[in-house]
Structure 1
Amino acid sequence: MKLFGTVRWAVVGLLFLGGMINYLDRAALSVAAPLLSKELSLSPAELGIVFSVFFFGYAAFCFVGGYASDRIGGRNVFAIASVVWSVFCGLTAMVFSFGSLLVVRLIFGMGEGPYGSAANKLVSNWFPRRQQATAVGWANAGTPLGGALAGPIVGFIALTWGWRASFVIIAAIGLCWSAVWMLMVTERPEQNRHISAAEAAEIAADQDATTGGPAVSLGSLLARPAVLATAFAFFGYAYILYFFLSWFPTYLTTARHLSLQSMSFVSTIPWLLGFIGLAAGGSVSDAIFRITGNAVRARKLVLVVGLLIAALCVALAGSVETVQAAVGLMAVSVFFMYLTGNTYWAIILDTVERDRVGGVGGFVHLIANLAGIVAPSVTGFMVQATGGSYAGAFGLAGGIAVLGALSVAVFVRAPSGSAGLAVVGTRL
């Protein structure tokens, strides 16, 4: 467990690998979609519904997983979730119809839903406040790397042994990770036999700042404008992400006429830049926090600027003439989108009592992932209605992200001289 220097960073290392597997499993269908659609005779609208049904289960269990993390612990929620998502990833190989695919994807989504809120809960338990945004960034940085690996890995397996084999192989990888997780990770530092007394004391000494103040109900926290604004901004982030995750590979093959092999490698470029953005975003946010002494202002600056740039680039990507320009703009968009990826979670860690972090984080993540229901299906219907044009879908993704960034700019503010969060007369 001390491979990473301290036990807490070893926990983040396992979260990094878990996130990589999570997105490898999730992105596999997007890569295999051209082959799967042909075999099951799916229309673009039906394929959009398949992408969307995952998020009915996923969004609901973002909140269920977060709430459960406050009750039974993020470590236990993560263990259960990883087994469920791995098993149902493997069962994708057994589908035989549009209906059977819908059922498998729904339950697969339920398994993947708790990932973000459970990881945030564990970071809250394992890290001093000054390192939490960095830790969240690295804990989640494996997700775009998993998306990047999905193209070449799933593409190679699908072309060599068929698309069904790819789901079985990556499911086995997930189950192996689950076993290691259950053997190595505890809910809190003091429960871990590998941790030193010095590291446990360092973590505990800087966590008092995340608690304090009178206890408030979960419902009261969820109704506050700042929480709702952060959730809507996260929705804008997620709309770009799930538009890209679900439809960009198909866009490259149908609108840009790339082969499956070429698409598998070209689509990794945005994912790799996204990995850099997500890994760096937490460090940038924590660095601004150290300079300004105001945590929320640091998170807000990274969120608003990054999401606006991402919105502009994704909107432009749908109107350029060449595949190189489209991939380049999409890569820049994904980089800046992921640069903001830690800020939504970090605002929760900075402003919410630790015993409510799971529930509030799960709610914000639920709102964000409603985009996973909307974006794939709306894109499918838009493409079908316009005879195969993707320009409007790219523009819509950018417009929603702009509104999300503006909502944070207006409703989330840190008062002068305070690291806390204020919202138009309401202190959080």
Structure 2
Amino acid sequence: MAKPGLFKPWVAALSATLLMQTVGTFLSQAVPVVAPLMTAELGLPPESIGNFSSLNTLGAILFLLFGTPLVARFGPLRMLQGGALLGSLALAAAAGGVVWLLPLAALLMGVGYGPTGPAGSRILQATAPPRHRVLIFSIKQAGAPAGGALAGFIAAPVAALYGWQAALLVGIVVALACAVAIQPMRATLDAERDPARPLREAFALKRLGAPLAALRMHPVLPRLTLQAFAFAALQGSLFSFTVTWLVQEHGASLTAAGGLFAAMQLAGVAGRLVLGWAADRLGDATRSLAVHGLVAAALSAAWVLAGPGGPGWLGLLLAMASGFTAASWNGIFLAEVARVSPPDRVAEASSGAILLCFLGYLTAPAAFAWTVSATGSWVLPFLVGCGLLAVVSLLVLWGGRRGATS
């Protein structure tokens, strides 16, 4: 017989949300990982995978706009399971090899990924011990880069050995198995769901104004979300273009460039854990995130300016330092949004804040590509992203000091 208190509710909550965050990212990254084989077989240009990624982000934004009432009606755990099912259907559509189905698959994939933020926040805010709240949110968000790394470790070799469709099939099996595995937790984690909530709320036009309405829930949310946008813009640019930049501008082999990219991703996992723990110790997540942004901007600028042209050890160190700071903000941001939101509106506030943050992921890569085409410089748009994050971080610090003295 288990000892009383041996298994804490937050342990089950964190296990479920971390697992499904990892699964969601694994599904989202599976297609980009097998893209060279898939696009060649379907007769598509290699760069067309960028359109798939953009539609994926758009799908997630659509869920964040309209899906929050569904989290309240069906429960956050059920929505995480539903997201895994939608992601599996998206991979099945992509695996069919029909070109006109790919945009639909990308959009569906994004909608399936959408619940990971608001549903996970609702579960963790209700169960996480306040003393370790930011760390627990950060551990859950570490599933994002971990899922991306797993997609590379699993999908790529399977595709090379058995074909890209087989790799997508593996993703489907993994997602469905994980969705079934968390079912025993549903009675506990979905206990506060509201089955009577009307479904029509999810499709009301007023949902278009929900993100801005969410920012009015607390005075800190506008500047906190603005900083998340700046973080997302820099992280999205680094992760979208680092490999291509190293190969095109610095003559790196694809293997070497991919190795540095993997180092950045793994450093991001470590950063989410370490900096989440540090934010808990400081006790002021908003101020911590602002200082974090200044450090991330400085280290990312150092990587861009000195990393590729320096000794190999220096390039690796700066790449990891950039990934450690520029990709480790998500859990702190979500934890702070959940903390300052009304308890019964955590999912709604998280959806609105995450949606506005996702605009950074959606717009920055397009602006980056345009800048490279217009100026011929890869360094300039990287530095613009660093500068934006630094300026916004200073504004957040200044706003926090004004609030403290008013």
TM-score when scaled to structure 2? 0.82
- TM-aligned CA deviation for residue 386 of structure 1: 5.0
Which residue does 2:150 correspond to in 1?
Answer: 149
Of 337, 359, 364, the match for 2:353: 364
Tell which deviates more after alignment, 143-152 or 359-368.
143-152
Asked which structure has the greater RCO (Cα within 8 Å, sep 6+), the reply is 1
Of 65, 68, 71, the match for 1:69: 71
- TM-aligned CA deviation for residue 136 of structure 1: 0.8
Please show how residues 103-182 of structure 1 align to structure 2 within 5 Å.
Answer: 103-182=104-183
Deviation string 1:62-90 (CA, Å, 9 cap, x unpaired) is 34344432443212221211211232134
Which residue does 2:370 correspond to in 1?
Answer: 381
Q: Secondary structure of 2:45's match? A: coil
Which residue does 1:409 correspond to in 2?
Answer: 397
Q: Secondary structure of 2:330's match? A: coil
CA distance in 1, matches of 2:373, 2:117: 33
Q: Is 2:299 the partner of 1:306?
A: no
CA distance in 1, matches of 2:249, 2:161: 25
Query: Does the 8 Å contact 1:235/1:404 carry over to 2?
Result: no
Tell which deviates more after alignment, 257-266 or 376-385.
257-266
Relative to 1, partners in 2 of residues 1:280 and 1:107: Cα closer, same or farther, differing over 3 Å?
A: same
Deviation string 1:71-130 (CA, Å, 9 cap, x unpaired) is 432122212112112321343323443x54322111111110121111010011222333
Deviation string 1:295-335 (CA, Å, 9 cap, x unpaired) is xxx20232012122222233343333258455543321221
Deviation string 1:178-203 (CA, Å, 9 cap, x unpaired) is 11122333454878xxxxxxxxxxxx
CA distance in 2, matches of 1:164, 1:279: 34
Q: Is 2:86 the partner of 1:84?
A: yes
Q: Secondary structure of 1:349's match? A: helix
Which residue does 2:378 correspond to in 1?
Answer: 390
CA distance in 2, matches of 1:4, 1:238: 38
Query: Does the 8 Å contact 1:69/1:118 carry over to 2?
Result: yes
Which residue does 1:275 correspond to in 2?
Answer: 269
Relative to 1, partners in 2 of residues 1:190 and 1:81: Cα closer, same or farther, differing over 3 Å?
A: closer
CA distance in 2, matches of 1:159, 1:262: 19
- TM-aligned CA deviation for residue 346 of structure 1: 2.1
Tell which deviates more after alignment, 5-14 or 325-334.
325-334
Of 36, 45, 55, the match for 1:42: 45
Relative to 1, partners in 2 of residues 1:110 and 1:349: Cα closer, same or farther, differing over 3 Å?
A: same
Q: Is 2:4 the partner of 1:11?
A: no
- TM-aligned CA deviation for residue 242 of structure 1: 2.1
Q: Secondary structure of 2:305's match? A: coil
Which residue does 1:400 correspond to in 2?
Answer: 388
Query: Does the 8 Å contact 1:302/1:339 carry over to 2?
Result: no
Relative to 1, partners in 2 of residues 1:364 and 1:377: Cα closer, same or farther, differing over 3 Å?
A: same
Query: Does the 8 Å contact 1:88/1:107 carry over to 2?
Result: yes
Query: Does the 8 Å contact 1:23/1:147 carry over to 2?
Result: yes
CA distance in 1, matches of 2:170, 2:311: 31
Which residue does 2:226 correspond to in 1?
Answer: 232
- TM-aligned CA deviation for residue 264 of structure 1: 4.5
Q: Is 2:215 the partner of 1:222?
A: yes
Relative to 1, partners in 2 of residues 1:182 and 1:317: Cα closer, same or farther, differing over 3 Å?
A: same
Q: Runs in 1 of length 4+ with deviation above 6 angstroms?
A: 1-4
Deviation string 1:317-368 (CA, Å, 9 cap, x unpaired) is 3333258455543321221134432221222222211111111111000000
- TM-aligned CA deviation for residue 263 of structure 1: 4.6
- TM-aligned CA deviation for residue 24 of structure 1: 2.1
- TM-aligned CA deviation for residue 43 of structure 1: 6.2
Relative to 1, partners in 2 of residues 1:385 and 1:34: Cα closer, same or farther, differing over 3 Å?
A: farther
Q: Secondary structure of 1:319's match? A: helix
Q: Is 2:355 the partner of 1:354?
A: no
CA distance in 2, matches of 1:4, 1:240: 42
Task: Name the aligned partner's letter for residue 398 of structure 1.
Answer: C
CA distance in 2, matches of 1:319, 1:407: 25
Q: Secondary structure of 1:41's match? A: coil
The percentage of aligned residue pairs carrying the same residue is 22
Task: Name the aligned partner's letter for residue 84 of structure 1.
Answer: L
CA distance in 2, matches of 1:317, 1:405: 19
Which residue does 1:421 correspond to in 2?
Answer: none
Structure 2: stretches of 5+ with no match in the other structure: 193-209
CA distance in 2, matches of 1:27, 1:278: 19
Task: Name the aligned partner's letter for residue 400 of structure 1.
Answer: L
TM-score when scaled to structure 1? 0.78
Task: Name the aligned partner's letter for residue 381 of structure 1.
Answer: W
Task: Name the aligned partner's letter for residue 131 of structure 1.
Answer: H
Which residue does 1:93 correspond to in 2?
Answer: 95
Tell which deviates more after alignment, 178-187 or 120-129.
178-187
